[in-house]
Amino acid sequence: MLLHEDTETHYYTTNKIECHRLLLSGDYSGGDIAFQALKPGEGSVDFVRYFNESTGAYGFSAAKGDEQFFTSRGYSVDGSAWSI
């Protein structure tokens, strides 16, 4: 789990290279393991990642109805993040 310093939001990734790249950017801190999850498509429920380019914030949800919530606030769909 990474913390985006400017927005005080968390970012979750299963990709060690992505984690390292984000830490090197200087915008994020942390990098601790938050929980164990499956790769997208391996479980029964996928969590979608949303990204707000204006703020640099991410959001995550498994609820289909949340897509409208996030996109109406400037977020774009950024793919599947993980599965449970």
**For residue 39, what is the DSSP state?**
P
Q: Can you read off the two tokens belonging to residue 56? A: 């640099």
- pLDDT bucket at 1, cuts 50 / 70 / 90: confident
Contact of 58 with 9, CB cutoff 8 Å: yes
Kind of pairing between the strands at 76-83 and 46-52 = antiparallel
Distance CA(18)–CA(36), nearest Å, equals 17
pLDDT of residue 69: 95
One-letter amino acid of 71:
T
pLDDT of residue 48: 96
pLDDT digits (tens, 9 = 90+) for 27-50: 899 988 888 889 999 999 999 999
Percent of the chain with pLDDT over 90: 64
